[in-house]
Chains A and B, each alone.
Chain A
Amino acid sequence: MIDTLRLTAYEAARLLRNKEISGAELWEAYRRAIDEGDGELHCFLHVCDDPGGDGLPLAVKDVIGTEGIPTTAGSKILEGYVPVYDSTVVRRAKEGHGLRVLGKTNTDEFAMGSSTENSAFGPTHNPWDLSRVPGGSGGGSAAAVSAGLAPWALGSDTGGSIKQPSALCGNVGLRPTYGTVSRYGVVAFASSLDQVGPVARNVRDCAFLYSVIAGRDEQDSTTVDLPQPVELPEADDVRGLRIGVPKELNEAEGIEPGVAAAVQAAIAKLEELGAEVGECSLPLSVEYGMACYYLISPAEASSNLARYDGVRYGYRADAGERLEMYERTRDQGFGDEPKRRIMVGTYALSAGYYDAYYGQAQKVRTVIKREHDALFETFDALVSPTSPSVAFPLGARTADPIAMYLSDLLTIPSCMAGLPGLNVPCGLSEGLPVGLQLIGPQFAENTLFRIGHALEQAIGFDPVPERLRS
Chain B
Amino acid sequence: MAIDREQLLHVAHLARLELRDDEIERLEGQLNDILEAVSKVSELDLSDVPPTSHPLEVVNVWGNDEPEPCLSVEEALANAPEREGDFFKVPPGGAA
Partners in one complex: yes
A311 contacts partner chain B, Cβ-Cβ < 8 Å: yes
Per-residue CB proximity of B37-71 to A under 8 Å, as 1/0? 11111111010011111111010010100000001
Choose among B3, B27, B54 the residue with the greatest number of A CB atoms under 10 Å from its CB: B54
Query: How many contacts A-B (CB < 8 Å)?
Result: 194
Known contacts A343-B27, A357-B41: A362-B53 contact under CB 8 Å: yes
- Shortest A284–chain B CB gap in Å is 7
The interface residues of chain B lying within 8 Å CB-to-CB of A81 are 79
Contact status B52-A362, CB under 8 Å: yes
- Shortest B96–chain A CB gap in Å is 4
User: Quick one: which of A119-176 are within 8 Å of B by CB?
Assistant: none
Contact status B52-A340, CB under 8 Å: no
Contact status B27-A339, CB under 8 Å: yes
- Shortest B43–chain A CB gap in Å is 8
Known contacts A321-B91, A325-B91, A343-B17: A291-B40 contact under CB 8 Å: yes
- Shortest B87–chain A CB gap in Å is 11
The interface residues of chain A lying within 8 Å CB-to-CB of B39 are 291, 357
User: Quick one: which of B71-96 are within 8 Å of A by CB?
Assistant: 71, 75-76, 78-82, 88, 90-94, 96
Q: Main secondary structure on chain B at its contact with chain A?
A: loop
Size range of the interface on B? Answer: 35 or more
- 17 more contacts with CB within 8 A, not counting A340-B27, A364-B44, are A192-B54, A221-B63, A222-B61, A291-B38, A294-B34, A309-B16, A312-B80, A313-B79, A314-B81, A320-B94, A321-B93, A327-B13, A339-B17, A343-B17, A348-B38, A402-B34, A418-B56
A residues sitting closer than 8 Å to B (CB atoms) are 80-82, 84-85, 178-179, 192, 218, 221-222, 224, 284, 287-288, 290-292, 294-295, 302, 306, 309-316, 319-328, 330-331, 334, 336, 339-340, 342-344, 346-348, 350, 353, 356-357, 359-367, 369, 401-402, 405, 416-419, 442
